[in-house]
Homo-oligomer: A and B are copies of this chain.
Amino acid sequence: MEMEQNTREKTGSTRMCDWVKALPCKIKVKALGIAKKTKKVGKDDPRRIIHSLKVGFALTLVSLFYYVRPLYNVFGESSMWAIFTVVVVFEFSVGATLSKSINRGFATMLAGALGVGVQELASLLGDKGKPIVLGFFVFLLAATSAFARFFPHIKARYDYGVLVFILTFSLVSISGYRAEKIIELALQRLSTILLGGAMCIVISIFVCPVWAGQDLHNLVASNLEKIANFLEGFGGEYFEVSGDEDSGTVPKKDKSFLQAYKSVLNTKTYEESLANFAWWEPCHGSFQFRHPWKQYLKIGALTRKCAYQMDTLSANINSNVQTPPEFKRKIQNSCMKMSSESSKALKTLAMAIKTVTNPSSSSIHIENSKVAIDELKTAMDDALRERFDLLKIVPAITMASILMDIIKSIEEISESIHELSHQACFKDVEKNVSPDKLPQLLHRGIVKPVSDSNGGGDGGDHVIIQVHEKSLDSPENGNPRASKTSSRDDVL
């Protein structure tokens, strides 16, 4: 019995010993894991590191309200509100910071004035009536504000304002019940809040700014590129053709392009929040104040629709084992052309967004993919004569049919990007292309006169001018609108 207990104690102490011995190793592994994650978070978007430094800088700056005697003498304990404002209001993007600062500023003013008013009203009713009146108003406004936050429009744009409103109103009206110098106090708080907010705005705009509008613009373009990459690789993957540079397919081993579209599927919420923040931003870069941000959401929705079709399509990649090779050979050329031309159309559209230029050069690829659809139809007509086993060619037919639907969706995307280019006055690409470059471009696919098309809505009202793609990339197209827009008044 005793021995058993001894053994138990020994085992216990041995375990304890082992645990203590293993501890440094465990801590090391954990620390390495955190270091790895930290590196990844910073590498994914280096602006995050700069943002963190900006927050640290702003907070240290605002603490001067406490350290510097003359400032402290003016603002006193209210300096706390400046710190508070900086911590809560400083966000990653300029738009988010502006949204919170402006919401906070206006809500504080409105609620402060209302609080003082209610306080005065309650004073008329004597010491017994006062808490009842104040309590009634606090209940009424708190319940109304809480309910207002359920309205989608308010939730999206003024949520923080409503929160600050009810907070300030409660603080002013209730604490006013005790404090005598209420107006002086309210003004002190307001001024520190405005100072803190102004500091955040200035730092976030002038020190390495992160514009939500620019991010939305880039996100929409990069999502288009992702679905373009899927299409670019899809043909080669489906027909098991090893990629070569001419056909634009990527080498077979790297199949990440087949998964990239997946990150497009769930971008709605992120796009909407970026658009909401962008709404607050003054003009910057190529974007004027009141840039048509809503149009980006439309393009985003159409891009997602395309990604949904790809999700359905990707189920077909692996189900083509039983398709008769002769049938595959029949449709291979047209299908590969469909996927590569539609991919090129998307890439041209993405490039047009990135360079803020007119996207008309995408139409040629859309026309080419339509020609490929016609070729596919002819090939299928031929196939009928050879009496393939219908069941065995079902997956291939489905693939081709979804590919046709995708091209229809891409036409819609192209239309909405043309609409954006019209609304946001995208600049035209230089029309005097040197003639020696033209042939290179024209042999890329069958060029069909636009007037022959039955219209994606984007080809009917202008003549296509083929432009060498490099000119879109060139630095002289970088940001010519910046000087034009910077002369406009900032509304803020």
Which residues of A does B touch, CB under 8 Å? 37-38, 41-42, 45, 48-49, 51-53, 55-57, 59-60, 63, 66-67, 72, 77, 79-80, 83-84, 87-88, 90, 131, 134-135, 138-140, 142-147, 150-151, 163, 166-167, 170-171, 174-175, 177-178, 265-266, 268-269, 304-305, 308-309, 311-312, 315, 377, 380-381, 383-384, 387, 389-391, 394-395, 397-398, 400-402, 405, 408
Shortest CB-to-CB span from A199 to chain B, Å, is 14
A45-B151 Cα distance, complex, nearest whole Å: 12
Partner of A170, one of B63, B90, B134, B174: B63
Contact of A142 (CB < 8 Å), options: B59, B147, B377, B394: B59
Q: Are B59 and A138 in contact (CB under 8 A)?
A: yes
Residue in A67, A87, A389 whose Cβ sees the most chain B Cβ within 10 Å: A87
- Asked if A377 meets B391 with Cβ closer than 8 Å, knowing A138-B60, A269-B266, the reply is yes
A87 to B394, alpha carbons, bound, how many Å? 60
- How far apart are A103's CB and chain B's nearest CB, in angstroms? 14
Among B42, B56, B80, B167, contact of A87 (Cβ-Cβ < 8 Å): B167
Determine how close the nearest CB of chain B comes to the CB of A317; give it in whole angstroms. 12
In the complex, A60 Cα to B146 Cα: how many Å? 14
Contact with A383, one of B135, B151, B390 (Cβ below 8 angstroms): B390
Report the minimal beta-carbon distance from A226 to chain B, rounded to whole angstroms: 16
Alpha-carbon distance A175/B81, docked complex (angstroms): 11
Contact B391 A402 (CB under 8 A): no
Q: Among B66, B150, B401, point to the contact of A41 (Cβ < 8 A).
A: B150
Other than the known A59-B142, A384-B389, what 11 A-B pairs have Cβ atoms closer than 8 Å? A41-B150, A41-B151, A48-B147, A48-B150, A56-B138, A84-B171, A265-B308, A312-B312, A315-B405, A397-B397, A398-B398
Q: Judging by beta carbons under 8 Å apart, are A384 and B384 in contact? A: no
Q: Within the complex, which residue of B37, B49, B52, B146 is in contact with A55, where a contact is CB–CB below 8 Å?
A: B146
B147:A63 contact, CB within 8 angstroms: no
Can you give 12 contacting A-B residue pairs, CB < 8 Å? Answer: A51-B146, A56-B138, A59-B138, A63-B138, A67-B174, A77-B175, A90-B146, A309-B311, A312-B402, A387-B387, A394-B401, A397-B401
Contacts of A305 in B (CB 8 A): 311
Rounded to whole Å, the gap between the CB of A426 and the closest CB of chain B is 28
Pairs of residues from A and B, 8 with the lowest C-beta to C-beta distance, nearest first:
A56-B143, A55-B146, A398-B401, A52-B147, A308-B308, A56-B139, A52-B146, A269-B269
Q: Which of B41, B79, B174, B265 contacts A147 (CB 8 A)?
A: B41
Q: How many copies does the complex hold?
A: 2
Residue of B nearest to A57 (CB): B139
Alpha-carbon gap, A394 to B145, bound state (A): 56
Give the residues in chain B near A42, CB-CB below 8 Å.
147
State the CA gap A391–B377 with chains docked (Å).
7
Q: Beyond A41-B151, A48-B147, is A131–B395 a contact (Cβ under 8 Å)?
A: no
Cα separation A397 to B316 with both chains bound (whole Å): 14
The chain B residue with its CB closest to the CB of A167 is B87
Do A59 and B170 form a contact, CB below 8 Å, given A308-B311, A398-B402? yes
Task: Establish whether residues B390 and A401, one from each chain, have CB atoms under 8 Å apart when the complex forms.
Answer: no
Whether A394 contacts B397 in the complex (CB less than 8 A), given A55-B142, A265-B308, A269-B269, comes out as: yes
Nearest opposing residue in chain B for A130, CB measure: B67
A408 to B316, CA, bound (A): 13
Residues of B within 8 A of A48 (CB): 147, 150
Residues of B close to A147: CB separation below 8 A:
38, 41-42, 48-49, 51-52
Q: Are A63's CB and B134's CB within 8 A?
A: yes
Residues from chain B with a CB closer than 8 A to the CB of A269 are 266, 268-269
Determine whether the beta carbon of A151 is less than 8 Å from that of B37.
yes
User: Which residue of B has the minimal Cβ distance to A143?
Assistant: B56
**A395 touching B401 by the CB < 8 A rule?**
yes
- Please name the residue on chain B nearest to A83 by beta carbon: B170
Query: Does B67 lie within 8 Å of A131, measured CB to CB?
Result: yes
A384 to B56, CA, bound (A): 73
With both beta carbons as reference points, the residue of chain B lying nearest to A131 in the complex is identified as B67
Q: Do B390 and A66 have beta carbons less than 8 Å apart?
A: no
Pairwise interchain contact A166-B87, C-beta atoms closer than 8 A? yes
Evaluate contact between A88 and B266: CB separation under 8 angstroms: no
Contacts of A41 in B (CB 8 A): 147, 150-151
Instruction: Give bound CA distance, A401 to B399, whole Å.
Output: 10
- A83 with B143, Cβ < 8 A, contacts A37-B151, A269-B269 known: no
